[in-house]
């Protein structure tokens, strides 16, 4: 009889779900603040607050949504919008590949589908930082507070964004960077290799935005290129030993 790490017929794992809620609350607040400025883009595109709410609920990516709303405002075709969105969000393919390495091989497809649906930089970061095989209910708990924060923030930004001064709207968007730092700093303090790679990533990202030819690529393509090159180099130079880790709830 196979020894499954999870019993998918059992009720949701409350411990993992509650842990996800705790980790997702600050992300939800950060998303709520950042999405205000996104709501302004929704308004400029001529869309309603409800359309902005649905768009952010189904597409939790700031760069992708900004591009989509800008293209809608410019009157581009649906095909062009789809292609641009695919290119900008292609980095999530890499995140999904990395996340699958932390999943139970026998995990049902519907779990994998739900985990991938709201895979964002920050939610991927808190999930991948946990030890052992990832319990899907941890991510579900994080989704429960993070995704509504993003969607509701977009809707409110659409309604009241015109009332707020531009300087305040711009300041709110900085919260996302602070939140992302909170995700990467703890593992960097625990591992010097991780800390060095983070510094290298910052330097490479800055250089790629100014180097000839490379700077002509879209932001999404540059992220994919840097991710593949740096992660491959790190895997070759600093390989991790296979360890039998206990599953963290």
For residue 11, the model assigns a pLDDT of: 42
Question: Residue 2 in contact with residue 126, Cβ under 8 Å?
Answer: no
Q: Is the pLDDT of residue 1 over 90?
A: no
Q: Is the pLDDT of residue 119 over 70?
A: yes
Mean confidence (pLDDT) of the chain: 79
Domain ranges of the chain: 14-186, 191-239
**32 CB contacts (<8 Å, ≥6 apart)?**
149, 150, 152, 153
Report the percentage of the chain scoring pLDDT > 70: 80
Q: Is the pLDDT of residue 40 over 60?
A: yes
Report residue 35's pLDDT band, with 50, 70 and 90 as the boundaries.
Answer: confident
Other CB atoms within a 10 A radius of the CB of residue 23 amount to 23
**23 CB contacts (<8 Å, ≥6 apart)?**
126, 138, 141, 142
- Compute the residue count for the chain: 249
pLDDT in tens, 159-180: 887 676 766 666 666 665 666 6
Q: Is the pLDDT of residue 193 over 50?
A: yes
For residue 248, the model assigns a pLDDT of: 46
For residue 155, the model assigns a pLDDT of: 92
**144 CB contacts (<8 Å, ≥6 apart)?**
20, 21, 24
Q: What is the mean pLDDT of residues 89-94?
A: 80
Other CB atoms within a 10 A radius of the CB of residue 130 amount to 20
For residue 8, the model assigns a pLDDT of: 42
Q: What is the mean pLDDT of residues 78-94?
A: 79
pLDDT in tens, 122-170: 888 888 888 778 888 999 999 999 999 999 999 998 888 767 676 666 6
Question: Residue 148 in contact with residue 21, Cβ under 8 Å?
Answer: no
Report residue 219's pLDDT band, with 50, 70 and 90 as the boundaries.
Answer: low
For residue 39, the model assigns a pLDDT of: 85
For residue 220, the model assigns a pLDDT of: 60
pLDDT in tens, 21-31: 999 998 888 88
């Amino acid at each position: 009889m196979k020894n499954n790490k999870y019993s998918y017929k059992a009720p949701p794992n409350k411990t993992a779900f509650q842990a996800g809620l705790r980790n997702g609350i600050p992300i939800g607040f950060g998303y709520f603040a950042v999405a205000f400025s996104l709501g302004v883009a929704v308004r400029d595109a001529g869309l309603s607050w409800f359309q902005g709410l649905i768009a952010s609920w189904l597409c939790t990516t700031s760069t992708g949504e900004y591009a989509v709303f800008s293209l809608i405002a410019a009157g581009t075709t649906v095909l062009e919008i789809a292609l641009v969105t695919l290119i900008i969000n292609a980095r999530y393919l890499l995140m999904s590949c990395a996340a699958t390495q932390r999943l139970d091989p026998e995990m049902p497809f519907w779990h994998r589908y739900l985990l991938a649906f709201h895979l964002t930089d920050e939610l991927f970061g808190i999930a991948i930082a946990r030890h052992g095989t990832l319990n899907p209910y941890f991510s579900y708990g994080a989704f429960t507070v993070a995704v509504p924060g993003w969607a509701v923030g977009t809707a409110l930004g659409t309604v009241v964004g015109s009332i707020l001064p531009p300087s305040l709207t711009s300041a709110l968007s900085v919260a996302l960077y602070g939140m992302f730092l909170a995700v990467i700093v703890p593992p960097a303090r625990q591992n010097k290799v991780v800390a060095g790679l983070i510094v290298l990533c910052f330097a490479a990202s800055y250089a790629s935005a100014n180097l000839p030819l490379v700077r002509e690529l879209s932001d999404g393509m540059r992220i994919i290129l840097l991710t593949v090159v740096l992660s491959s180099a790190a895997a070759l130079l600093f390989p991790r030993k296979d360890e039998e880790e206990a599953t963290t709830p």
